[in-house]
């Protein structure tokens, strides 16, 4: 529910895009990272995590930033083992290896065709009252949810605490993506929606005053409808 609400707050988040597709792959990676905490034979899962990330970066180049997240997640979830890190990196590079083989067979081999082009620039986003309202409805529940997560952290199992650490690292990495190969809208910011949704869900779940989540939900739903029908959403 939180994810659906969040993904309705900007016009660019309401249509199919490469960034939205990558969210599905990142969900698969996140579930794999959760599983490897106590997994005895995790090499297959770690390779699959790397392979999924490699495919994601092949389809949407800016998601290469999540390589940092995955490597940090391995450090958080498991004791450092060189062979596991190498397996993960092997998985990430596998799609590029096969693409390089294809280029070689087709006689089009060159490093320029294989090595992705990356640029770092600050996006120029047009400001408006609608954008400010959307940002408000994302940030305020996030802070409320973050407070409740912190308040309940000591009661959580170790792997659950590590899971929240993964989500926070996920969010911090996702905030880098819009600055890579920048476009001038909010499309790439959708990659931060999944970790934001987890903290939003905590704001709904843990709130001791039941009126608070009700107000948050209906205020967000009313804003989404107003944005879509009276603002720039579906125009």
Number of domains the chain contains: 1
Instruction: Evaluate whether residue 164 is within a structural domain.
Output: yes
Instruction: Evaluate whether residue 126 is within a structural domain.
Output: yes
CA distance 136 to 139: 5
Of 87, 75, 73, which is closest to residue 41 (Cα–Cα)? 87
Instruction: Evaluate whether residue 235 is within a structural domain.
Output: no
Q: What's residue 30's pLDDT?
A: 94
Q: What's residue 139's pLDDT?
A: 95
Domain membership of residue 174 as a residue range? 2-230
Instruction: Evaluate whether residue 93 is within a structural domain.
Output: yes
Q: What's residue 29's pLDDT?
A: 95
Q: What's residue 170's pLDDT?
A: 95
Note if the pTM is more than 0.85. Answer: yes
Instruction: Evaluate whether residue 206 is within a structural domain.
Output: yes
Residues 6+ away with beta carbon under 8 Å from 64 = 57, 116, 118, 180
- The phi and psi torsions of 41 (rounded to 5 degrees) equal -110, 85
Q: What's residue 233's pLDDT?
A: 67
- Across the chain, which has 235 residues, the per-10-residue mean pLDDT values are 91 84 93 88 92 92 91 92 94 92 87 76 79 93 94 88 93 90 83 95 90 92 90 68
Instruction: Evaluate whether residue 168 is within a structural domain.
Output: yes
CA distance 124 to 146: 28
Work out the number of other CB atoms within 10 angstroms of the CB of residue 50. Answer: 27
Q: What's residue 70's pLDDT?
A: 95
Scan for tokens 């409808």, then name that residue. 225
Instruction: Evaluate whether residue 175 is within a structural domain.
Output: yes
Q: What's residue 137's pLDDT?
A: 94
CA distance 188 to 176: 10
Of 13, 5, 3, which is closest to residue 234 (Cα–Cα)? 13
Identify the bridge partners of residue 120 per DSSP, sorted by sequence position. Answer: 180
Residue 175 and residue 191 in contact, taking contact as beta carbons nearer than 8 Å: no
């Amino acid at each position: 529910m939180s994810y659906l609400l969040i993904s309705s707050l900007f016009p660019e988040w309401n249509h199919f895009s490469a960034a939205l597709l990558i969210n599905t792959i990142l969900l698969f990676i996140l579930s794999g990272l959760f599983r490897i905490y106590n997994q005895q034979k995790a090499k297959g899962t770690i390779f699959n995590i790397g392979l999924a990330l490699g495919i994601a970066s092949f389809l949407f180049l800016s998601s290469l930033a999540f390589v940092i997240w995955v490597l940090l997640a391995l450090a958080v979830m498991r004791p450092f083992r060189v062979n596991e890190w190498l397996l993960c990196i092997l998985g990430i590079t596998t799609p590029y290896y096969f693409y390089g083989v294809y280029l070689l067979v087709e006689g089009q081999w060159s490093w320029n065709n294989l090595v992705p082009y990356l640029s770092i620039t600050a996006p120029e986003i047009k400001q408006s009252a609608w954008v400010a309202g959307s940002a408000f409805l994302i940030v305020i529940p996030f802070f409320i949810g973050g407070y409740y997560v912190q308040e309940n952290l000591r009661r959580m199992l170790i792997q659950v605490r590590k899971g929240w650490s993964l989500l926070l690292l996920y969010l911090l990495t996702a905030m880098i993506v819009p600055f890579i190969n920048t476009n001038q809208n909010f499309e790439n910011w959708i990659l931060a929606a999944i970790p934001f949704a987890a903290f939003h869900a905590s704001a709904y779940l843990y709130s001791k005053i039941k009126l608070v989540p009700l107000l948050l939900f209906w205020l967000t739903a009313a804003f989404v409808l107003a944005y879509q029908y009276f603002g720039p959403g579906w125009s």
